[in-house]
Chain A
Amino acid sequence: QLQLQESGPGLVKPSETLSLTCTVSGGSIRGGSISRTGYYWGWIRQPPGKGLEWIGSIYYSGNTYYNPSLKSRVIISVDTSKNQISLKLTSVTAADTAVYYCARQGVVTPNNWFDPWGQGILVSVSA
């Protein structure tokens, strides 16, 4: 059964960089080796008491797609040898305080639903 687990600091200072890792177990980030089609993997966040916001997605080969509203501050990367994807968000403010989730998307396109999800990690931005 595919499982995703987010990890990283739970507290980040304003103006610094938020860095999170999502470790995938029970399956490969590359996806099906026979078809040579891999999965897209996404990051989504949810401020306390608010709704969901897509941050960006990455293909196992490294192609990235970002939310235009966050694009200037986001870097998503993949390490297939470790079965991990990573998120960096620069110049954070209190508005970036949220639960951050990673999730698998489909193949072919990053425009897809999300399933399954990691349990999420709360990151607070505060001095």
Chain B
Amino acid sequence: DIQMTQSPSTLSASVGDRVTITCRASQSISSWLAWYQQKPGKAPKLLIYMTSSLQSGVPSRFSGSGSGTEFTLTISSLQPDDFATYYCQQYNSSPTFGQGTKVEIK
């Protein structure tokens, strides 16, 4: 199995901040990476696939980058609706997820 490690586990930020979450794979996954947002009691929502492709309807303040083993999700200007937990997921092989990063209000 490919292990996915996210950092940080928790991130405290304010509205308007630029936020970056990192996801590292235990081996190269090329660009086969997706990002999800999950709010309490809700299903995960796809934000980005193929490392940097924005899912339809997702605000442009979300962006993704990286390749190989290191990837980032960036929120350019944090909005009140963005406080949530974020997960990365690799699909180079059998899907595996990172442990999640909770973005909380500072």
Binding site for A on B (CB under 8 A): 1, 32, 34, 36, 42-46, 49, 55, 87, 89, 91-100
Are the CB atoms of A51 and B44 closer together than 8 Å?
no
A119 — nearest CB in chain B belongs to which residue? B43
Chain B residues with CB under 8 A of A120: 43
Per DSSP, are chain B's interface residues mostly helix, strand or loop, or mixed? Answer: loop
Q: Tell me whether A51 and B87 are in contact (CB under 8 A).
A: yes
Closest to B100 in A: A51
Contact A65 to B43, CB < 8 A, known contacts A51-B99, A113-B34, A115-B55? no
Give the total of A residues in contact with B, Cβ under 8 Å. Answer: 21
Chief secondary structure at chain A's binding surface: loop
A113-B49, A115-B46 in contact; A51/B32 too (CB < 8 A)?
A: no
Bound Cα distance A26, B48 (Å):
23
Q: Using a CB–CB distance below 8 Å, which chain A residues touch chain B?
A: 42, 51-54, 65, 67-69, 101, 103, 111-120
